[in-house]
Structure 1
Amino acid sequence: MKKTLILILIASLPLVSVVGQAQEQNPERPRQGRRGGGFGVPIELGPDDKQTFPDPADSIVKKRDGIPHGKLEMIDYESKAVGTTRKMNIYTPPGYSSEKKYPVLYLLHGIGGDETEWQRFATPDVLLDNLIADGKAVPMIVVMPNGRAQKNDRAEGNVMASAPSFAAFEKDLLDDVIPTIESRYSVQADREHRALAGLSMGGGQSLNFGLSNLDTFAWVGGFSSAPNMKTSEELVPDPEQTKEQLELLWLSCGNKDGLIGFSQRLQRYLTKNGVPHIWNVDSHGHDPTHWRNNLYHFALLLFQQTSADEQPAAAAKSTSD
């Protein structure tokens, strides 16, 4: 059975990822109805596949005058895993001070992107500035690295050829990215104050790396995760242990996104095994609006002192305030 699932996953990867690559590079292109936003994959929605939280207003990413603003900077770091100097985009919150310790969100991009993709699609710096100013989000550092762990990490040519480097990024993340951040910034360096999330290919990475390293990450999110995600049994081999260690597991996908089946598979498994999670199915496709909106809702809950059972109510309250 396991071999069959792997073969299906490998067979489907070129089709959906090539289209996903084009979609990420040109997210405004027209979509193809109920056959999966251009992926050619039929979408079958079940009773659990509902929108848990309403779409926030577009103003969540409107830069506001009269509030404190954080800082966005591009830094270089030495990657021993890759054997070269690499770049990552860092957001520090308003009033950042070395005398205070901050939690960290590691935010991963899709197969057609790089360390600038989240900034182009969702301006996380503006979104967090607004949430922090309104008292809705914990001041945090956001790290946007390049998830393509190879010496030429540009998204150019046949990006599908770089797919193996996205799996290889786990070592770079754990051995180089996190230690760099914790040596240069004033952070709370423990699992309870580390989150990992991403879009598309980065969503798959986040689920793969986050759920496999719960001694490192307690908060995990996958937004319209791509077929690179492992099987549910590999991601959560011990549901009881996962329940004990996870603070939050966020899964989301649009109901017009042909990749929804991969997230549905994991969501059904989590429900069957009683693992707390949030499942948000909105009316979007595989596009920046979905990623922006779900980052917004995810950020409302990050590093907050609420139990898994209280999280949906807490997020709904923050959204309505």
Structure 2
Amino acid sequence: MNENKSDYTIQTAGYDTEREGIARGEICTIEYPSRTVGNPRKAMVYTPPGYPAAGEYSVLYLLHGIGGDESEWYNHGKPQVILDNLYANQLLKPMIVVLPNGRAMPNDRAEGEIFAPDKVQAFETFESDLLDDLIPYIEANYPVLTDRMHRAIAGLSMGGGQSLNIGLNNLDRFAWIGAFSPAPNMRPPEQLLPEPQKAAELLSLLWLSCGDLDSLKNVSDRTHAYLSQHSVPHLWVEEHGDHDWPVWKNGLYQFSKLVFS
């Protein structure tokens, strides 16, 4: 599972186009208390068609890029449309998708100098906010399964780096990890996986994808090389594209079909 898989660069026609005559999920904004930051924070939550008919659901935490916030995926990536279409085709396991704001600081809006040191630091602080505040809130307020086999994390660019940093540092919490064009905030591979064989035993899926025209592709290349060198099973998907939404939407489309299976 550590080779480039060209099959995962192919989507069903209209995979991100709203279809008529199918059941739809709902996506809404929630507010949760954050002890990490010291004030309430916002996230978006997608619940699938028929919710809560499935009883208990798995959860995917889906992270945005450095210039976005909890609404970036919704505004640009149409996750609810992609997921609704997959449910209509019976290609998804029942899951809730949580879209957090990965910038854990009192003023977490995507404004001003997005590369300011305090904002970059806030992307690191998000690990505590996610583990100690958001996940407990979701598990207290939604009918979700709470073991690692039913929890996934994935993201684009800065959020892809966060997904690897957080997921691989907390394999007792996450069995499914995805990074779509991860940015340089990702730790070096030796720090990400100091015990590669332990990670290999615990991971159910490690997904890494990037566009072949992406100027940050070297970040993914070095990680893929390290994973291959140490025989850590992973899906490496190199597709035609840049650091942009067609690559990231395909990442969500393909990754979500594989998790919790």
- TM-score under structure 1 normalisation? 0.78
1:158 maps to which of 113, 137, 161: 113
**Partners in 2 of 1:245 and 1:283 — Cα distance?**
31
* One-letter identity of the residue aligned with 1:182: E
Q: State the superposition RMSD in angstroms.
A: 1.3
Match of 2:183, SS state, is coil
1:94 maps to which of 49, 66, 69: 49
Task: Identify the range of structure 1 (48-57 vs 207-216) with the bigger mean alpha-carbon deviation.
Answer: 48-57
Q: Does the CA-based 8 Å contact 2:5-2:235 persist in structure 1?
A: no
* One-letter identity of the residue aligned with 1:286: H
Q: Computing the radius of gyration over CA atoms, which structure comes out larger, 1 or 2?
A: 1
Structure 1: gaps spanning 5 or more residues: 1-47, 305-321
Residue aligning to 2:186: 229
Q: Is the aligned partner of 1:81 residue 2:36? A: yes
1:119 maps to which of 74, 78, 94: 74
Displacement of 1:218 in angstroms is 0.3
Structure 2: gaps spanning 5 or more residues: none
**Partners in 1 of 2:29 and 2:71 — Cα distance?**
9
Residue aligning to 1:128: 83
| Residues 2-13 of structure 1 aligned to structure 2 (within 5 Å) | none
Post-superposition CA distance 1:126-182 (Å, at most 9, x none)? 111110111111121000000000000001010101111001100000000100000
Displacement of 1:233 in angstroms is 1.0
Displacement of 1:98 in angstroms is 7.0
**Partners in 2 of 1:52 and 1:167 — Cα distance?**
34
Post-superposition CA distance 1:79-108 (Å, at most 9, x none)? 000001110000001111277000000000
Residue aligning to 1:60: 15
Residue aligning to 1:262: 219
Residues 215/66 of structure 1: CA separation in 2 closer, same or farther (3 Å cut): same
**Partners in 2 of 1:58 and 1:115 — Cα distance?**
27
Match of 1:74, SS state, is strand
Residue aligning to 1:198: 155
Displacement of 1:244 in angstroms is 1.1
Q: Is the aligned partner of 1:284 residue 2:241? A: yes
User: Which structure has the highest helix share of the two?
Assistant: 1
Q: Is the aligned partner of 1:178 residue 2:135? A: yes
Residue aligning to 1:5: none
Match of 2:36, SS state, is coil
Match of 1:261, SS state, is helix
Q: Does the CA-based 8 Å contact 2:9-2:250 persist in structure 1?
A: no
Runs of 4+ in 1 over 6 A off after TM superposition: none
Q: Percent identity?
A: 53
**Partners in 2 of 1:280 and 1:120 — Cα distance?**
25
Match of 1:60, SS state, is coil
Residue aligning to 1:38: none
* One-letter identity of the residue aligned with 1:53: Y
Residues 50/189 of structure 1: CA separation in 2 closer, same or farther (3 Å cut): closer
* One-letter identity of the residue aligned with 1:297: Q
Residue aligning to 1:295: 252
Residue aligning to 1:317: none
2:166 maps to which of 209, 213, 224: 209
Post-superposition CA distance 1:182-219 (Å, at most 9, x none)? 00000011100000000000000000000000000000
* One-letter identity of the residue aligned with 2:72: E
Residues 151/58 of structure 1: CA separation in 2 closer, same or farther (3 Å cut): farther
**Partners in 1 of 2:111 and 2:80 — Cα distance?**
26
Displacement of 1:54 in angstroms is 2.8
Residue aligning to 1:110: 65
**Partners in 1 of 2:249 and 2:67 — Cα distance?**
17
* One-letter identity of the residue aligned with 1:127: I
**Partners in 2 of 1:124 and 1:54 — Cα distance?**
17
User: What number of residue pairs does the alignment pair up?
Assistant: 257
